[in-house]
Structure 1
Amino acid sequence: MSDIAAAPARRPSRLLSRLRGLAGVMLALAATFLGLLLVTFVIGRVVPIDPVLAMIGERATTAQYEAARLALGLDEPIWRQFLIYVGDALRGDFGTSLLTRQPVAQDILRVFPATLELATIATIFGVLIGVPAGVFAASRPGGLVDQAVRLIGLMGYSMPVFWLGLMGLLLFYGILGWVGGPGRLDSGFEMMFEFDVERVTGMILLDTALAGRWDIFRNALSHIVLPAGVLGYYSMAYISRMTRSFMIAELSQEYVTTARVKGMPEWRVVWVHALRNVMVPLITVVALSYANLLEGSVLTETVFAWPGLGLYITNALFSADMAAVMGGTIVVGAVFVCLNMLSDVLYRLVDPRAR
C-alpha cells in the first residue's frame, strides 16, 4: 500500500529533476553565449583598426568623424557599449558590412548555406568511410587493413589542404574533366538557378531537387564533389583514427572476452556490442569534426572559389571589415555551442545510463 502511495510522489520529483536539468542546460548555454559575445567585443576593441575611419575613410573631416563616432555609440562608457552590443546581437543585428554595404546578418544568411552544404556532405563522406575503416583496423591490429588505414590517416594529416585542392583541380578538372571547376555552378546554370529555382534552404542540391531541376542538380553535384571530397578526406582521417583507438580499447574489455569464449560470432562482438559502446565518444568526435568543417574550411573555399562563410570572413578580415568578422565569429561560436548541445541529446538517446 505504501509503494502505491509513493508512486505518484515520484513523478513530480522526477519531473522537477528534469526541469532543473533543463534549466541548468539553458543557463550554461546563456553563459557560454554571453562569454562568446564578451570575447568578440573585446577583440573588436583591441585590434589596431579604427572602426570610424574604416567606415568613413581617412579623408573625412573632424566633424564627420565625430558624427560617425556618435552614431556608432563609441562615446558611451565601455560597459554601456557592451550592453548595446549584446542587445543588438540578440536581435540578430551585427552591423553593416563595409564591403557589401548590406547588413551582416543578411550576408551571413546568404553565404552560410554554401558552407553548410559543403561541410555536411564532407562529414557524411567522412563518417561512412572513416567509421567502418576504423572498426576494421581495430578488429585486426597490425594487419594489412590496419596499416593501410593508419597510412591513409597519416597522409590526411600531413598534406596541406590547399595543395591537395590544387592538385585535385589540376587532375580531375583540368586534365581529366571529370568534375566541375571552381564555384558552385557554371555561369549559365547559375543564371538558371537564380531565376528559375525558388530558394528554400540556400543549398543548391536540396533546392534544385525540391524544384525538380535535375539538370542544375547534376551541374552543382559536379562542382561540389571535389571540394567535399577534399574536406571529407581530412574528416575521414580524423574519424577513422579515433574510431580505431576507441575500438581497440573496447575490444580489450572483459565482456568481449566472455562473449568470444561463449561462442558469439566475431562480427556480432565487434559490430554490435563493441561498436555500440563506443558510440558516445564517437558522437563527440563526429560533432567536433563537423563543427571544424563549418568554420575551418577557409583554405578549401578559397582554392575552389566557394562562396561560403569561411571565404566571407577571410575577405572581411583583409578589408578591415570588423563588423563582418565579428558577426561571422559569433555564428561560428553559436554553431559549436549548438553542436555540443546536440551531442548531449544524442548521448541520452544512445546510452540509457546518461539519462
Structure 2
Amino acid sequence: MRRRVIPDIAGQAGAILVTLAGLLILTFVIGRIMPTDPVRAIVGEDATREVYENVYRQLGLDRPVWQQFFFYVRDVLTFDFGTSIRTGQPVLQDIARVLPATVELATFAIVIGAGLGIPLGVAAAVNKDRWPDHVIRIASLMGHSMPIFWTGMIALLIFYAGLGWVGGSGRMSQFYIGLVPERTNFLLIDSALAGQWDVFRSAVNHIILPASLLGYSSSAYITRMTRSFMLDQLNQEYVTTARVKGLSRNKTIWRHAFGNIKVQLVTIVALAYGSLLEGAVLIETVFAWPGFGQYLTSNLLIGDMNAVMTCVLVVGLIFIGLNLISDILYRVFDPRTR
C-alpha cells in the first residue's frame, strides 16, 4: 500500500507541474496574440511617440520573447500581476475583491443544481419511458436551452418587480452598502461575523434568484448525466440479482446502483462548479453582480491585458484545484482507487 502512495503522489505532482507550465505558456501567448495594444491602452490615443516608446520599454516589450516569458514567470511566482488600467489597483487586489462574490453565487447555484439534478436524474432513470421521465427530460431540456440572460430578465420582472419576493440587482440593498467591514470579502460570512443580520438577510434575498437560475441551468446537465449513469447501472445483472434475493427497491437503487455512480458524479459536479465560477458573466451582467466574470469581461473590452491574463490564470488554477479535490473524493467513494 505504501509503495503505491509515493509513486501516485509523485505522478500527481508531476502532472500538476506540467499543467501549470502549460497554463503559464497559454496565458503568455494570449497576452501576445490579442489584437490590442497594451501600450496604447495605457498612454491613450493622444500620447506622443516619445511617451509611447518609454512605456513600451518599461513594459519590456523591446526584449526578445524568451526574456519576456522569463520575466513573466518571475512576476507570477512573486505574485506580481501588475496594475489594472481600469481600476488603477493591483490586479491581485481586484481579484481578491471580486472573486468571493462569484464563489458565493456559484456555491449557492451548485448546491441547488446538484440538489435538484441528482434526485431528478435518478427518478428519470428509475421511471424510464414513463411520464415522470418525460416531464423531467423536458424540464432539463428547457433549462439547458433557454438563454440565461433572457430567463434572468424575465425572472427579475416576475419575482422582483412584480411579486417583490426577492431582492433586485447587486449583492445587497443600497442602504446596507459600507455597513459591514470587509474581512473575507464573502458578504454572507462578513455580515454574520459582524452580527449584521439585516445585511445577511438582504444578501440572501439578493443571491437567491440569480443562484436559482444558475442552479436550474446546471441541474439540466447534471440530471441528464445522472440519468445516463443510472440507466447503465440499472441494466446490470447485479441489480436483477439483488431484487431476486429480496432486497427492497429503494436499497437496490440508492445503496447499490447509485453507490456505483458516485465517482462519475463527482467529476460532473466539479466540472459544473468550475463552469459556474468562470461562466457566470451573463447572469452577473443582468443582476449587476460585481463578480469575477463581469470583471474579466470589462477589462477584456478595454484591452487591460494584465487583468485578462491574470483572470485566465486564475480560471486555470480553479480547475486544477477542482481536479485535485475530485481525486481526493474518488478515494473516499471508491476504495479501489486508494
Q: Shorter-chain TM-score category?
A: over 0.9
Q: Verify the 8 A CA contact 2:37 2:303 in the aligned structure 1.
A: no
Query: What is the match of residue 257 of structure 1?
Result: 240
Query: What is the match of residue 266 of structure 1?
Result: 249
Mapped partners of 2:321, 2:78: distance in 1: 18
Q: Verify the 8 A CA contact 2:140 2:224 in the aligned structure 1.
A: yes
Give the alignment of 1:203-214 within 5 angstroms: 203-214=186-197
- Confirm or deny that 1:93 pairs with 2:76: no
Aligned amino acid, residue 90 of structure 2: P
SS of 2:136 mapped into structure 1: helix
Query: What is the match of residue 264 of structure 2?
Result: 281
Equivalent of 1:220, from 197, 203, 227?
Answer: 203
Query: What is the match of residue 151 of structure 2?
Result: 164
Mapped partners of 1:225, 1:350: distance in 2: 31
Name which of structure 1's ranges 283-292 and 73-82 shifts more when overlaid on structure 2. Answer: 73-82
1:129-173, Cα deviation, whole Å (9 max, x unpaired): 111111111111112221111011000111100000000000001
Aligned amino acid, residue 185 of structure 1: M
Tell me by how many angstroms 1:212 deviates. Answer: 2.2
1:162-206, Cα deviation, whole Å (9 max, x unpaired): 00000000000111111111000111111322xxxx333211112
Aligned amino acid, residue 115 of structure 1: T
Mapped partners of 1:55, 1:37: distance in 2: 23
Equivalent of 2:214, from 199, 215, 231?
Answer: 231
- Confirm or deny that 1:50 pairs with 2:50: no
Query: What is the match of residue 110 of structure 1?
Result: 97
Mapped partners of 2:174, 2:230: distance in 1: 47
Tell me by how many angstroms 1:345 deviates. Answer: 1.0
- Confirm or deny that 1:64 pairs with 2:47: no
Mapped partners of 1:200, 1:239: distance in 2: 34
Using structure 2 for the length normalisation, give the TM-score.
Answer: 0.98
SS of 1:283 mapped into structure 2: helix
Mapped partners of 2:164, 2:219: distance in 1: 25
Query: What is the match of residue 302 of structure 1?
Result: 285
Aligned amino acid, residue 331 of structure 1: V
- Confirm or deny that 1:333 pairs with 2:316: yes
Identity of aligned residues (%): 53
Query: What is the match of residue 80 of structure 1?
Result: 67
Mapped partners of 1:273, 1:199: distance in 2: 46
Aligned amino acid, residue 222 of structure 1: N
Aligned amino acid, residue 305 of structure 2: M
Name which of structure 1's ranges 316-325 and 222-231 shifts more when overlaid on structure 2. Answer: 316-325
- Confirm or deny that 1:345 pairs with 2:332: no
Tell me by how many angstroms 1:254 deviates. Answer: 0.9
Tell me by how many angstroms 1:280 deviates. Answer: 0.5
Give the alignment of 1:189-208 within 5 angstroms: 189-193=176-180, 198-208=181-191
Query: What is the match of residue 242 of structure 1?
Result: 225
Query: What is the match of residue 131 of structure 2?
Result: 144
Mapped partners of 1:91, 1:143: distance in 2: 59
Aligned amino acid, residue 32 of structure 2: R
Using structure 1 for the length normalisation, give the TM-score.
Answer: 0.93
SS of 1:48 mapped into structure 2: coil
Tell me by how many angstroms 1:46 deviates. Answer: 1.1
Mapped partners of 2:219, 2:35: distance in 1: 39
Name which of structure 1's ranges 19-28 and 283-292 shifts more when overlaid on structure 2. Answer: 19-28
Query: What is the match of residue 41 of structure 1?
Result: 28
Aligned amino acid, residue 237 of structure 2: E
Mapped partners of 1:289, 1:88: distance in 2: 31
Mapped partners of 2:184, 2:248: distance in 1: 45
SS of 1:82 mapped into structure 2: helix
Query: What is the match of residue 161 of structure 2?
Result: 174
Q: Runs of 5+ in structure 1 lacking a partner?
A: 1-13
Mapped partners of 1:47, 1:351: distance in 2: 44
Mapped partners of 2:257, 2:35: distance in 1: 53
Mapped partners of 1:134, 1:284: distance in 2: 16
What CA RMSD, in Å, does the superposition of the two structures yield over aligned residues? 1.1
Tell me by how many angstroms 1:90 deviates. Answer: 2.1
Query: What is the match of residue 274 of structure 2?
Result: 291
Mapped partners of 1:207, 1:256: distance in 2: 48
Q: What is the count of residue pairs matched by the alignment? A: 338
- Confirm or deny that 1:185 pairs with 2:172: yes
Mapped partners of 1:95, 1:149: distance in 2: 48
Mapped partners of 1:18, 1:145: distance in 2: 45
Aligned amino acid, residue 267 of structure 1: N
SS of 2:179 mapped into structure 1: helix
Name which of structure 1's ranges 83-92 and 232-241 shifts more when overlaid on structure 2. Answer: 83-92
SS of 1:192 mapped into structure 2: coil
1:237-271, Cα deviation, whole Å (9 max, x unpaired): 11111111100100111111100000100000001
Mapped partners of 1:86, 1:214: distance in 2: 44
Aligned amino acid, residue 27 of structure 2: T
Tell me by how many angstroms 1:16 deviates. Answer: 4.3
